[in-house]
Structure 1
Amino acid sequence: MTARGTATASRTAKGTSAGARLTGIDAARGLALLAMMATHVLPTFESDPQLTPTWVGLAFSGRAAALFAVLAGVGLALSTGKQQPLEGSALGAARRGIALRALVIGAVGFSVGGLEVNIAIILVHYALLFLCVLPFVGLGARRLLLLAAAWVLASPVLAYLLRPWLLAADPPLRLGHNPGWEDLTTPARLLGDLFLTGYYPVLQWIAYLLVGLAIGRMALSKSMTPFLLLAAGTVVALGAKWLGIILMEDWGGRHALEAQIGDPSYPLESLLQVNLVGAEQSGSVWWLATSSPHAGSTLDLLHTAGVAAAVIGACLLLARLGEWVELDLLLAFRGAGAMTLSLYTGHLCVMAALHNQPLAPGWTVDGVYWAQVIGVLVIGAAFAALTWRGPLEWVTHAASRVGSHQSARVRQPTRFR
């Protein structure tokens, strides 16, 4: 083979690997969106007295939103140098672009916060997470992993110590509803809720973006990296969940918590499996030993981050398989994942329209969910095939370009970020 042919083949291989990487990441975002929608629409508990968890609660609660957050970190890494983080003025420009993108996402979040929905909307927290990790986007994979490990260990303890002080304030620094524009008039209450007392406590959730940044700094195009993510993520996820069960069931943690809280409104055994948001996690250090969804504990962060890493590795492998067989196995999922902000917002509007309204004759809750899934996948596939950005993605991209002062002549490697 000639030198020219060798160079051409090398460029083709690199392009293929990069395409598989971005396809896999977008597909993982699409899966995260569908899983989050499932927890919004379908019940997570049965209606029996024991509140038996449903398969949706057991499979997706806590894990879907965590995957969404980890992928946010991956996206930030891919847009700031991939394996080689940006430096100097280029890094500063990238940070300004990220900050403006976060402001747009936050504005969308505050706007939909007024919708009448029985859904904890993540967008304002998501935007704040972008701003909080700006100091770390210039770090390499090793430093990010060390920082993520320290954050996973320290932030739950700090939250456990600080949360009672915020809740003891008069009035308590907790919203009890989705953040809306009116909450900007009470900044202490808003920030207390966003960082510590709300549904997605940013203080602990920064760990997810740090993990995502570290994953994005890895050589995702190399053949072994997806296998490493899948294997390591699975081991961490299973190990954290196993240790949490041992601590709660064999070492007496659950009984200690039941004695501490007295007669809980919901069976603690069920809450530990699905969602701890409704429980007041104070008064006993055993709360720090749970691996329950939305506990914000070290084991919860480890388990959900491990699941996210494993899902990302699996999606990267499927994307690479699709290129080998010359078939886009993930078209619909990657299309949906490339426009999650638009589709997530549309899903919220649909759910607001259905809130407290009787279902049309012949419709069931399952039917409402699957109809939205089909709509999301069809729209995602259409936009992917036409290489279009979603409408809100177009706005965030424009904001990022303005913030980073990027020339319009600079060619973007792909429309799907």
Structure 2
Amino acid sequence: MAITQTSGRLSGIDAARGIALFGMMSTHVFPLYVEGTSAASWIGASFSGRSSALFAVVAGIGLALLTGGSRPHQDSALTRDRRGIAARAVVIAMVGLMLGGLETNIAVILFHYGVLFLLALPFVSIPLRRLVWWAAGWTLLSPVAAFWLRPWLQDNISPPDVDGNPALEHFGEPVTLLADVLVTGYYPALQWLSYLLLGMVIGRLDLRAFRIQVGLIAGGIGLAIAAKITSAFLLGPVGGLAVLLQTPDGRRYDIEAMLNVSLTGIDQSGTWWWLAVSAPHSGTPLDLAHTAGTAAAVVGLCLLVTRRLDWLLLPLSAPGAMTLTLYSLHIWIMSIVDQQQPALDPAPVYWAQAAAFIALGLVLRKLRARGPLEFIVAGASDVARSPGSARKR
């Protein structure tokens, strides 16, 4: 029974995944706005949108590494890889559905994560240069497609979303579930596939090379800054923000404050100027570019640090190697915390979880063992990859 961690792991990728985990946890625990004001808290300004994007980009990197990294697998090996990825996707999605049944205010990403794995399958065999074009095109055009589709879905599907996290009960409304997962939900797969494709591009590079690591840092920072500058120019001097403030939701909500934290729940329709914003969770080309840029920079920095100082990021890379287990545990804990009256102080809630997760990650690393959910996912993948799982001819 193979329970040991995979040898040859890039600890920098695990560290980046750990940053994504703890960043997402912080947005679940701490307030995103300064109490009594519309100003973004430092947690909201720093981690909202960026942590979940990093989680998805690293998922794309993982898919690329699973299928050969800079030397992509071909033929029968690639077929086995696809079967293994599909099995992973199903198990992760099932975990997401079970978590979706909990009473929590958190938007659980795992069901969408599994769907994204399945959507990415056709792209795992594409050569790097073509993959770059696919990733760039999807990042630019999928938000436009979503902008067209959302009003039609709102008018023709009732209800147009599941109003919460997908759960097993929602399979009774398959059209609504499909619309929610692809377009109208919190993590619309139509746009979020961009992150996986961009991550797959990164994963096809020689991630152990110093020049690649520095290039990811510089290129990621440059892309993130360029996206914000472009958005600020379009919304400010060109006049886009003035138009948005005249929309129904622009009059109803403090859009200017929300642009720094999240546009979740805002009706982004009626004017093309919505595509000029770079707000977290807006799903626009500039939002995708900015958050993908920050993700690339974090990945590059983690890889660079772990070249010589692997121990320095161990508190991140150890739990980062078992994020499925720890994320699921966090959701379960928060489903209990959220029910407490009066509300618990967020600082001890967060730091107790973070300390426990780091300790658990270090213990399993010492034992050279996977987390329990990672063990199940790996087992399902191994079974699907085995020759006996293929249909006999």
Q: TM-score range by the shorter chain?
A: over 0.9
Letter in 1 for 2:255: L
Aligned to 2:376: 395
8 A contact 1:334–1:384 mirrored in 2: no
Alignment of structure 1 residues 63-142 onto 2, 5 Å: 63-142=50-129
8 A contact 1:129–1:202 mirrored in 2: yes
Using structure 1 for the length normalisation, give the TM-score. Answer: 0.89
8 A contact 2:157–2:176 mirrored in 1: no
Letter in 1 for 2:315: A
* Percent identity (aligned): 47
Aligned to 2:317: 334
Mark the CA change 1:367 to 1:165 in structure 2 (over 3 Å): closer, same or farther. Answer: same
Distance of 1:349 and 1:265 partners within structure 2: 34
1:344 counterpart (296, 317, 327): 327
- After superposition, the C-alpha distances for 1:141-178 in whole angstroms (9 at most, x for unaligned) are 22211110000111010000011111112513211110
Letter in 2 for 1:125: H
**Displacement of 1:358 after TM fit?**
2.8
Is 1:296 matched up with 2:283?
Answer: yes
8 A contact 2:249–2:267 mirrored in 1: no
Secondary structure of 2:280's counterpart equals coil
Is 1:173 matched up with 2:156?
Answer: no
Aligned to 1:353: 336
- After superposition, the C-alpha distances for 1:172-201 in whole angstroms (9 at most, x for unaligned) are 321111000000111100010000000001
Secondary structure of 1:371's counterpart equals helix
Distance of 1:406 and 1:315 partners within structure 2: 37
**Displacement of 1:406 after TM fit?**
6.6
Distance of 1:270 and 1:396 partners within structure 2: 40
**Displacement of 1:266 after TM fit?**
2.9
Is 1:241 matched up with 2:207?
Answer: no
Aligned to 1:182: 169
Secondary structure of 1:259's counterpart equals coil
Aligned to 1:155: 142
1:322 counterpart (285, 302, 309): 309
8 A contact 1:141–1:215 mirrored in 2: no
8 A contact 1:140–1:214 mirrored in 2: no
Mark the CA change 1:406 to 1:391 in structure 2 (over 3 Å): closer, same or farther. Answer: farther
Distance of 1:318 and 1:46 partners within structure 2: 33
8 A contact 2:157–2:175 mirrored in 1: no
- After superposition, the C-alpha distances for 1:189-237 in whole angstroms (9 at most, x for unaligned) are 0010000000001000101000111111001111211000000000000
8 A contact 1:166–1:172 mirrored in 2: no
Greater Cα offset, 39-48 or 344-353: 39-48
Is 1:376 matched up with 2:357?
Answer: yes
Greater Cα offset, 201-210 or 133-142: 133-142
Give the length in aligned residue pairs. 383
Mark the CA change 1:81 to 1:22 in structure 2 (over 3 Å): closer, same or farther. Answer: same
**Displacement of 1:262 after TM fit?**
5.6
8 A contact 1:237–1:306 mirrored in 2: yes
Aligned to 1:15: none
**Displacement of 1:359 after TM fit?**
5.6
Letter in 2 for 1:250: P
Distance of 2:249 and 2:193 partners within structure 1: 32
1:280 counterpart (267, 279, 284): 267
Secondary structure of 1:329's counterpart equals helix
Distance of 2:128 and 2:367 partners within structure 1: 34
Letter in 2 for 1:43: P
Bigger radius of gyration among the two: 1
8 A contact 1:173–1:193 mirrored in 2: yes
Aligned to 1:411: none
Using structure 2 for the length normalisation, give the TM-score. Answer: 0.94
Mark the CA change 1:19 to 1:311 in structure 2 (over 3 Å): closer, same or farther. Answer: farther
Distance of 2:238 and 2:259 partners within structure 1: 15
- After superposition, the C-alpha distances for 1:372-409 in whole angstroms (9 at most, x for unaligned) are 111111111111122110000000000110111179xx
Query: Structure 2: 5+ residue runs without aligned partners?
Result: 1-5, 389-393
2:22 counterpart (34, 37, 52): 34
Aligned to 2:205: 218
Is 1:207 matched up with 2:190?
Answer: no
Query: Structure 1: 5+ residue runs without aligned partners?
Result: 1-17, 408-417
